[in-house]
Structure 1
């Protein structure tokens, strides 16, 4: 009789990744309050007690997923902002990258940008902190291009410009969800026409 090989135990980081992936999917679909840790544990294929080894509460899990996905987004678009090429080429690549992120990671986009009606003050505070950190990170990466068009990256208006671009791109992404027949390239061309006309050198 041949004995079956023992099942290998999933290591901690791998198990944590499985849990956060399940949490992202369910939080984005149902929202924070309608989601239970037990539901996430079942979706991740782990015991609820194992969940507590990594995340002591649902709030901690949500905040961890938010931080993780925000870091992934910044890394994804940051590679395009700092790539080789002219400022216009890099801006086009960045716009396309954001729409690519929204298209391939709709749950992450929804969790990061859509209002989930959380009434937890700590969650609201952390979400606002993540938003501000994201704007500062993108502003820092765009600083050389800002200087080239005569904008001081340290002035308050510089972050406002970046916030406008980020919020505007996500608004288009939300609009696109209801019009999936529109090609991504069409969105990129339309946004680039508007952005580049508005981001020319100051008179």
Structure 2
């Protein structure tokens, strides 16, 4: 397998697990991942947030980790990338206000390249006007935005055309697996690891 070049758009208080887990998992199977954020350069950091449920009507947000960016959004060309990852958390509500973020997202849809998003990430896609006609999911509180953007919302991890969506980080195994399928990634079992029956 030849690794793909993937772009991940992140921002301050994006969900920690939804940034770090796919960033590392995609690299672990041989892909190159550039993480970018508007108005920040490679080597700078974004602050992540940890969202958890403690019995309240919505999630609790706590401070996560510092996540280092690997590239500068203003210097990357989306045409150089084979796929896009848009994590969730609180970051999408402000990331969608940047023209360069919207234009980057639109490129991947216009070129029919694989896109993976989850949780609140679809807020950016809705703002980019690219969801019309898709079947997809998101964090349930974002459902209304997605439906107003023209999609059919479903209650499960979903692949429709070039788009893979999930509701939140508990969906990682299926979401990442479906994205790898869309990328054409074949995961090889290591020596001494049984491949199953």
TM > 0.5 between the two?
Answer: no
Q: Which has the higher helix share?
A: 1
Structure index of larger Rg:
1
Report the TM-score, using the length of structure 1 for normalisation.
Answer: 0.28
